[in-house]
């Protein structure tokens, strides 16, 4: 590897570089598809991370909920180490002793018949789209090549070419056309618009029960219930993208649980890998997912032994209810600490479990500027769009940690 100055850089040298040099190396040799805060992290434990200079930060992003269980949770690390010593990959050309227990227990957790494991959240979404179309043709009887899927304005489901085809974010779409047909968009939270968009060729409705990337947008009470009713009445599959909102983030196992709604397909990812490896999956009943046949869909790494071992441990941890309860308690502390900021630089607050968003007065500063100031106060968060920041601390954080977070935000706003 060559350094920006032309010299060779090995792994040990990189570890010894100061923050500026780390950032320079990334700027010089990595694609510029991210604009991160100027913080270079080296160590993580629980809800806290440490940078290369030894400064500690409270992590209030948690890898966009991939780190629901915190950094290097002892149970997950132990499970990963044990599996690394045994078997990491077979491909699905063969069975492994880890896949069966994982899918059996995840099926039990979701209440569904079957699981199809993949790797990334976007792959999970793609899998749900494919199974929905195939179900539409083979079970519902939609005419060939005519299937459509209803999606929501403001959605974020990933960055594949198909997924951005139904994004309403110009940054996600610019320069990537032509786009995949077969999608129609309706306003999020508007059940009447959804009902009007469905026709005889509609095979599915895809939605996030809470829109994460849009800024933790919580739909009106009763909306998910109404979506479920419409889908049932029209014989359309309801797909719940729980990649960010699921697996205890909102105080329930799934965000759909807040209205007692069960989608036909769950999409899971992020936290399913315990913050150690990419693991995703969809869950559905046999009458939907069994349209897949050998060779019609797959992934080399999907359901690999290491991923299955980690996912199985995550399911075991979720089955106790401990992390769901932690999320509920953290949410109470978050709300108590953040509500006093309303009218003092914050114009809106949304909280559901341990997931929150603050809309910042744009006359005061941008969300990115607030996140930069928060980092100076030892708290890491991420802006969403221009004037919103998202807060998603690991579910192992404490009430004191939430006090640290709220104080850092208050101090950052006062410094404006």
The residue-averaged pLDDT of 315-331 equals 98
Whether 231 and 174 map to the same domain: the answer is: yes
Give tens-digit pLDDT for 212-240: 999 999 999 999 999 999 999 999 999 99
Model confidence band, residue 358 (pLDDT cutoffs 50, 70, 90): very high
- pLDDT exceeds 60 at position 179: yes
Q: Is residue 4 part of a domain?
A: no
Q: Residues 131, 254: one domain?
A: yes
Same domain, 102 and 190: no
Within-domain flag for 355 = no
Q: Both 254 and 136 in a single domain?
A: yes
**Cβ-Cβ contacts under 8 Å for 55 (sequence gap 6 or more):** 378
284 in any annotated domain: yes
Instruction: Please give the average per-residue pLDDT across 336-356, as a whole number.
Output: 98
Examine residue 187 and state whether it is found in any structural domain, yes or no.
Answer: yes
- Domain of 158? 121-238+250-262
Task: Kindly report, residue by residue over 254-280, the tens digit of the pLDDT.
Answer: 999 999 999 999 999 999 999 999 999
Are 101 and 132 in a shared domain?
no
| Maximum distance among all Cα pairs of the chain, rounded to whole angstroms | 66
Q: Are residues 60 and 150 in the same domain?
A: no
Q: Are residues 206 and 225 in the same domain?
A: yes
* Cβ(90)–Cβ(413) below 8 Å: no
Predicted TM-score of the model (pTM): 0.95
Q: Same domain for 258 and 145?
A: yes
Regarding whether 103 and 188 lie in a shared domain, the answer is no
Predicted confidence (pLDDT) at residue 141 exceeds the cutoff of 80? yes
Q: What is the pLDDT of residue 4?
A: 36
Q: Is it the case that residue 12 has pLDDT exceeding 80?
A: no
**Beta strand pairing status for 41-45 and 346-351?**
unpaired
pLDDT digits (tens, 9 = 90+) for 75-119: 999 999 999 999 999 999 999 999 999 999 999 999 999 999 999
Same domain, 339 and 390: yes
Residues 254 and 227 in one domain: yes
CATH code at position 313: 3.40.640.10
Could you say which DSSP state residue 252 is in?
Answer: S
243 is a domain residue: no
Residue 10 — pLDDT band, cuts 50, 70, 90? low
What is the per-residue pLDDT for 43? 97
Is 280 within a domain? yes
- Catalytic (active-site) positions: 156, 241, 270
Q: Do the domain assignments include residue 245?
A: no
Phi, psi of 208 (to 5 degrees): -90, 130
Q: Given this model, what pLDDT does residue 15 score?
A: 56
Mean pLDDT score of the chain, rounded to an integer? Answer: 95
> Looking at the structure, do residues 221 and 304 belong to the same domain, yes or no?
no
9 confidence band (pLDDT: 50, 70, 90): very low
Lowest mean pLDDT among 8-12, 156-160, 230-234, 290-294: 8-12
Whether 6 is covered by a domain: the verdict is no
- Domain count across the chain: 3
CA 394/CA 178 separation, integer angstroms:
39
Average of pLDDT values for 140-146? 98
Q: What dihedral do alpha carbons 240, 103, 112, 351 form, nearest 10°?
A: -40
CATH number at residue 336: 3.90.1150.10
Q: What is the pLDDT of residue 416?
A: 74
């Amino acid at each position: 590897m060559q350094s920006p100055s032309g010299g060779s850089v090995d792994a040990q040298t990189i570890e010894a570089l100061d923050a500026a040099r780390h950032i320079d190396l990334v700027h010089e040799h990595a694609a510029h598809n991210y604009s991160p805060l100027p913080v270079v992290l080296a160590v993580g434990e629980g809800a806290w991370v440490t940078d290369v200079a030894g400064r500690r930060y409270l992590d209030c992003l948690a890898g966009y909920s991939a780190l629901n269980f915190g950094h290097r949770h002892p149970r997950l690390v132990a499970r990963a180490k044990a599996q690394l010593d045994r078997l990491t990959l077979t491909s699905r050309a063969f069975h492994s002793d880890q896949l069966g227990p994982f899918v059996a227990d995840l099926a039990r957790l979701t209440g569904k018949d079957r699981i199809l494991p993949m790797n990334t959240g976007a792959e999970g979404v793609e899998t749900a789209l494919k199974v929905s179309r195939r179900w539409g043709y083979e079970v519902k009887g939609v005419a060939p090549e005519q299937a459509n899927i209803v999606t929501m304005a403001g959605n974020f489901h990933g960055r594949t070419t198909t997924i951005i085809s139904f994004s309403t974010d110009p940054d996600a779409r610019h320069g990537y056309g032509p786009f995949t047909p077969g999608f129609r968009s309706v306003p999020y939270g508007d059940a009447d618009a959804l009902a009007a968009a469905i026709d005889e060729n509609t095979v599915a409705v895809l939605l996030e029960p809470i829109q994460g990337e849009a800024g933790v947008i919580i739909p009106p009470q009763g909306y998910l219930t109404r979506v479920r009713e419409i889908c049932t009445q029209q014989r359309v599959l309801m797909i719940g993208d729980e990649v960010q909102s699921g697996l205890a983030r909102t105080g329930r196992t799934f965000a759909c649980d807040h209205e007692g709604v069960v989608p036909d397909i769950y999409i899971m990812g992020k936290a399913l890998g315990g913050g150690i490896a990419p693991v995703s999956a969809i869950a559905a009943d046999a009458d939907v997912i069994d349209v897949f046949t050998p060779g019609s869909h797959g992934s080399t790494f999907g359901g690999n032994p290491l991923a299955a071992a980690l996912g199985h441990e995550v399911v075991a941890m979720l089955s106790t209810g401990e992390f769901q309860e932690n999320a509920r308690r953290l949410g109470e502390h978050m709300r108590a600490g953040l509500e006093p900021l309303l009218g003092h630089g914050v114009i809106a607050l949304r909280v559901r479990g341990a997931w929150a968003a603050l809309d910042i007065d744009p006359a005061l500063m941008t969300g990115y500027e607030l996140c930069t100031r928060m980092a100076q106060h030892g708290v890491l968060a991420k802006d969403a769009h221009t004037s919103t920041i998202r807060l998603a601390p690991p579910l192992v954080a404490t009430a004191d940690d939430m006090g640290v977070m709220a104080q850092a935000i208050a101090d950052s706003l006062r410094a404006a």
